[in-house]
Amino acid sequence: MKLNQIFCGSPASLKEILDARSRRAERQKALLATPGARCLISFSLNIPGEIKCFPLAVWAFEEGLREIRAAVSSRDLLSFEESRENTGPEAFFLLDADAPEIKRKMTSIEENHGLGRLFDIDVLGPDAVLLSRSGFGLPPRSCLICGENAKACARNRTHSMELILWRTSQILNDYFKEQSADQAAAAAVRALLYEVSATPKPGLVDRNNSGSHQDMDFFTFVDSSAALIPWFRDFFSIGWEHGDETGDRLFERLRFAGQNAEAKMFSATGGVNTHKGLIFASAILCGALGKVYKDSFLLGKKPPVPLDAVVGECKKLGSCSLKDFKAEDRRQDVSAGAGHRRSTEETAGERIHTAYGIAGARGEAALGFPSALTIGLPALKAWLSQGFSLNDAAVLTLLSLLSQVDDTNMIHRGGLTEAAAGKKEAGALLAELTPGSFREKTAALDQSFIKRNLSPGGCADLLAVSLMICFLEESGMIA
């Protein structure tokens, strides 16, 4: 990330910065003259250079405020003030509390929080004297660059301003990227676990049985889901870090990461394909989300980000995968059925596309996951609003998808005739739906699919995508 993308704001002059420091000292003394005041927390940021107030600095400041509020008792708070001037944001917490104890808590925040090195949390006693770190047996603040005494490095100008700015931007970027990547990964793995847990699902692995699959069970999916957690984070981070690149280049980065994710999946499952389709979908969705999130952060816009913007990026990335249908030199792919090897052999998904013109997982991604957004997600929300449990709503959402989507896995296993019959059976079950009978009827359809060796794996992936989008909305990441 470029420095001018992070430090985007109006520069403060040296006089403005010095005047702000003088005002701060005067305000500290005035506040501590308040009856009952025993200590004051004076909070600002250690931001080098002339630009002190910009979006990521403000968000770092807000992170610090949350930590300080969590560390002090509301009963001890006499007053709170904050300002966000061009010279940098700052805040005062006036407390009726023991100053040494507060100093220990604030030092812990500075030392242990991910942004702590950028926090400047001073604690003053009732005499307006600053409590020093040395008085608590702690070393001086360390330099951002070399880890030595920060004041000594600043006094001697040991490091260039450009290097200090770069390190500051790295701290800010990494903290907010990793925080957001964790949220995205949590939603993704939760979606995988909820999808496999939803029971009963016709022809699919669930808590009752292994469906039409002889080589896997519920715990195979749990193992695979756990192995993929870091890769969901990686997909998001790739979108965040490389969103400025062309769509083709970003897609190739995601493809490479997806190939490695597949390898981890196969290692966790003993060579069984549990989530190849979802690795592809998650790489596209998380990568698009990471790109939109980074762009939003740099513009100073807080989450949630618009779902439409994420879908737009999914379309761009997904469209890159359609080239695989025409590629003479078939490369490794992360989509369902495409394998994790370089080969000239045509994959199942490619064979179906050649024979019937059905683009499957690639087509869904290239169109921005329309089946998940127009069928799956609305159905899930509708069933939940009617009082169905999340398990039952997920099962009914799968049936809704199965009744309307051309599932390439169904076609691969049973041909067009059986796939069409399965769609019709799912639609008939939904038409006859009653809260008291649908589980029994769905279980019966499950047994029928098992006998016919049918498995709507593509619809299961779309269910997981629908759940993931639902969880991303629930967490406040998208809207």
Q: Which long-range contacts (CB under 8 A, 24 or more apart) does 179-182 make?
A: 179/114, 180/236, 180/240, 180/290, 180/293, 180/303, 180/477, 181/232, 181/233, 181/236, 181/237, 181/240, 181/290, 182/233
First to last CA, the chain: 26
**More confident of the two residues 245 and 349:** 245
Q: Yes or no: say if 320 and 248 are a contact pair by the CB < 8 Å rule.
A: yes
**Residue 292 in this model has a pLDDT that exceeds 90:** yes
Distance, in Å, from the CA atom of 466 to the CA atom of 479, rounded to the nearest integer, reads 14
CB atoms within 10 A of CB 18: 11
Q: Copy the structure tokens of residue 193.
A: 């676990």
Note the pLDDT of residue 8: 86
Residue 338 confidence class, pLDDT cut points 50, 70, 90:
very low
Q: Locate tokens 């016919």: which residue?
A: 452
Please determine, for residue 346, whether its predicted confidence score (pLDDT) is greater than 90. Answer: no
Is residue 274 over pLDDT 60?
Answer: yes
29 versus 337: the higher-pLDDT residue is 29
Q: Which two tokens stand for residue 22?
A: 């003088």
Give the pLDDT of residue 347. 59
Q: What is the pLDDT averaged over residues 282-295?
A: 96
Q: Note the pLDDT of residue 136.
A: 82
Q: What is the pLDDT of residue 327?
A: 56
- Burial bucket for residue 473 (CB in 10 Å: 0-12, 13-18, 19+): middle
pLDDT of residue 337: 39
H or E element that contains 31: helix 14-32
Residue 448's pLDDT is 97
Model confidence band, residue 57 (pLDDT cutoffs 50, 70, 90): very high
Q: What are residue 79's DSSP bridge partners?
A: 94
**Residue linked to tokens 């989507």:** 405
pLDDT at 21: 94
Count Cβ atoms within 10 A of the Cβ of residue 381 and give its class: 0-12 exposed, 13-18 middle, 19 or more buried.
middle
Least confidently predicted of 6-10, 13-17, 93-97, 111-115: 6-10
What is the C-alpha to C-alpha distance for residues 462 and 454, in angstroms, rounded to an integer? 17
Burial of 252 by CB count in 10 Å (0-12 exposed, 13-18 middle, 19+ buried)? middle
Determine the Cα–Cα distance for residues 284 and 354; give it in Å rounded to an integer.
Answer: 23
For 369-392, what is the mean pLDDT?
A: 96
Residue 207 has pLDDT above 80, yes or no: yes
d(CA 404, CA 401) in angstroms, rounded, equals 5
Provide mean pLDDT across the span 18-35: 96
Beta pairing partners, 43: 91, 121
Give the whole-angstrom CA distance, residue 68 versus residue 43: 9
- Residue 343's SS3 state is coil
Total length of the chain: 479
Q: What is residue 306's three-state secondary structure?
A: coil
Q: What is the pLDDT of residue 435?
A: 84
Q: What is the chain's alpha carbon radius of gyration, rounded to the nearest angstrom?
A: 28
Q: Band of the pLDDT at 342, cuts 50, 70, 90?
A: very low
Q: pLDDT-based confidence at 336, cuts 50/70/90? A: very low
Residue whose token pair is 């704001």: 9
* 137 C-beta neighbours (distance < 10 Å), count: 6
Task: Give per-residue pLDDT as tens, 397-415.
Answer: 999 999 999 999 999 999 9
Q: What is the pLDDT averaged over residues 241-252?
A: 94
Mean pLDDT value across residues 62-89: 96
Residue whose C-alpha is closest to residue 67's, from 113, 124, 131:
113
What is the residue-wise DSSP string for 103-145?
Answer: HHHHHHHHHHSTTGGGEEEEEE-TTSPBPPSGGGT-PPPBPTT
What pLDDT, on a 0 to 100 scale, did the predictor assign at position 352? 54
**Res. 227: pLDDT tops 90:** yes
Q: How far apart are CA 453 and CA 365, in angstroms?
A: 27
| pLDDT for the residue 2 | 72
What residue has token string 């047994």?
Answer: 447
Query: Which run of H or of E encompasses 260?
Result: helix 247-269
| Number of C-beta neighbours around residue 100 at 10 A | 13
* Mean pLDDT, all residues of the chain: 91
- Confidence bin at 358 (pLDDT 50/70/90): low
Q: Is the sign of the CA dihedral 301, 93, 49, 173 positive or negative?
A: negative
Closest CA to 395 of 146, 191, 195: 195
Evaluate if residue 332 carries a pLDDT over 80: no
Q: Kindly report the pTM of this predicted structure.
A: 0.88
Nearest residue to 401 via CA among 359, 460, 444, 339: 460
Torsional sign, CA 344, 347, 352, 358: negative
Q: What is the three-class DSSP state of 204? A: coil
Q: How confident is the model at residue 351 (pLDDT cuts 50, 70, 90)?
A: low
Q: What is the pLDDT of residue 261?
A: 97
φ, ψ dihedrals at 201, nearest 5°: -125, 120
Q: For tokens 């002090």, what's the residue?
A: 72
What residues does each domain of the chain span?
Answer: 3-159, 177-474
Judged against a pLDDT cut of 60, whether residue 331 lies above it is answered with no
**Largest Cα span, the chain:** 86
Q: How far apart are CA 279 and CA 264, in angstroms?
A: 11
Helices (runs of H) and strands (runs of E) counted in the chain: 18, 4
Mean pLDDT of 86-107: 96
